[in-house]
Chain A
Amino acid sequence: DVKVTQSSRYLVKRTGEKVFLECVQDMDHENMFWYRQDPGLGLRLIYFSYDVKMKEKGDIPEGYSVSREKKERFSLILESASTNQTSMYLCASTEAGRPDSTFGSGTRLTVV
C-alpha cells in the first residue's frame, strides 16, 4: 500500500524556534506538496516540488521554506515559529501526470 509518512503527529514548539516537519513517500512520486489546514479555510498550499532540488511557492509561503534533497523526502521548515503558524500541516504527493494526491496523516503543530 502506498504511503506518505509524516514524522510527527503532534508537535509543540516555542515562539522563535526553528521547526522542521518531515515527509517521506515510498511511491517514487515526482510531485510533493505541503499544505496547512485551518478551520473554515480548507487546505492552503504552502510550497510544492516537482523534482529533486526544485521548489515552487504556493499561496502562502511567507514564514516557510522547504528542502527536497532526495526524491522521497520533502521537508517544511518554519524559520522562526510564530503563534499564527499553529495549524494542521499536511504533506501530499502525486505521480507525474496524475492528479490524485496521496496525503500523509498530518502533523498538528502548536506554537506557544
Chain B
Amino acid sequence: SQKIEQNSEALNIQEGKTATLTCNYTNYSPAYLQWYRQDPGRGPVFLLLIRENEKEKRKERLKVTFDTTLKQSLFHITASQPADSATYLCAPGSGGYNKLIFGAGTRLAVHP
C-alpha cells in the first residue's frame, strides 16, 4: 500500500540556520507533491506545490525539491525564525479529484 514517511522526531534548530525536512514515499508515483504548515489546534495551510517534472521550487525563504528516482522530497527553510516553528506535512497527490495522502508531519522548533 502507499506509504508516506516523514521524520517523526522533532527537528530542533537555531534561529538563522537552514531547516531541512524530508518526505519519502513508497508504492506510489505522484504527479505532484505539496507541503503544508500546521500550527497546534489549527488546520493545515498550503505552502508549496512541486510537480513531477520540476526538480526544485522556491517561494521566499522556502525551497522544495522533488526526486522521483529516490521517491523523496526535501523541504528547506532558510534563515529560519522562531515564527517558523510548526508541524510541516507533505502530501503527494494525483488523480482527478485531487485526493491527497498526507504524511504524519515533522515538528520543527526554531530556538532564538
**A residues at B contact (CB < 8 Å):** 4, 31, 35, 40-45, 48, 50, 56, 58, 90, 92, 94, 98-106, 108
Number of interface residues of B (CB under 8 A): 23
List chain B positions with a Cβ less than 8 A from chain A.
4, 8, 32, 34, 36, 41-46, 49, 89, 93, 97-105
Cβ contact within 8 Å between A102 and B46: yes
Name 21 interchain pairs, CB-CB below 8 A, sorted by A: A35-B102, A40-B104, A42-B4, A42-B89, A42-B102, A43-B89, A50-B97, A90-B44, A92-B43, A98-B98, A99-B32, A99-B34, A99-B49, A100-B34, A100-B46, A101-B46, A101-B98, A103-B44, A103-B45, A106-B42, A106-B43
A90 cross-chain contacts in B, Cβ below 8 A: 43-44
> Does A31 contact B104, Cβ atoms closer than 8 Å?
no
